[in-house]
A and B are shown apart, each in its own frame.
Chain A
């Protein structure tokens, strides 16, 4: 049961990313979208949590949302960037989509 966990809230404002990572089992994926993409930033207070999660979970971020926020060039190494088509593909590849609002 590979679940795609989507997170659309900033990790500095809400605990959605922390909860998604806490629940995401090995082999599942976390996709950051909208304000959630701030969670993909390196050098931030949230970075260590994301880097630790990447040992067991695949982490993605939506590139359009990163560019809109001017943070596309400061993403943690290993976080995979996807576009909207990639988002759809991920949703189709996983058994379920769990949205952390």
Chain B
């Protein structure tokens, strides 16, 4: 994909992880899309913030636990992950309740850096405004 234009892709995640299939579908599309070397950003807002909660264990409900897969996003160069602060606040959550998603920065001697950035609702609006293509889950 050396030819052509690079577009800003934004995946907007607004659903809780296990009650519906949206979260898993989004994650799969993100991972597939990562092969196309576009500029990919992930947004988590509303119940979507529950997708990246620490300590999810689906053994008891007999469904696939895809939560650990989010930790692989950094290896696919998906390292711009935005979480809306207002959504965390409403649910009594802080950044410490989220999985520590990281990536290795090839421009900085492969230093491990956090992928998650907590943003305000206003910053989220700017993020949406500056995207070329949006996928909503």
Contacts and interface: CB of A to CB of B under 8 A. Distances in A.
B90 to A, nearest CB: 5
B90 A68 contact: no
Contacts of B57: 67-68, 70
Interface stretch (B4-12, B14-22, B121-129): B14-22
Interface stretch (A8-16, A20-28, A50-58, A90-98): A8-16
A68 B60 contact: yes
Contacts of B46: 12-13
A38 interface: yes
A35 B67 CA distance: 16
Interface residues of B, number: 24
A88 to B, nearest CB: 15
Contacts of A43: 92
Contacts of B58: 67-68
Contacts of B61: 64-65, 68
Contacts of A72: 55
Contact of B18 (A9, A41, A44, A69): A69
Contact of A70 (B19, B47, B54, B90): B54
B55 A70 contact: yes
B19 A34 contact: yes
Contact of B17 (A13, A69, A73): A69
Nearest to A14: B47
18 contacts: A10-B16, A12-B46, A13-B15, A13-B16, A35-B16, A38-B47, A41-B91, A41-B92, A45-B92, A47-B92, A64-B61, A67-B60, A68-B56, A68-B58, A68-B65, A69-B16, A70-B50, A70-B56
Interface of A: 8-10, 12-13, 34-35, 38, 41-45, 47, 63-65, 67-74, 83
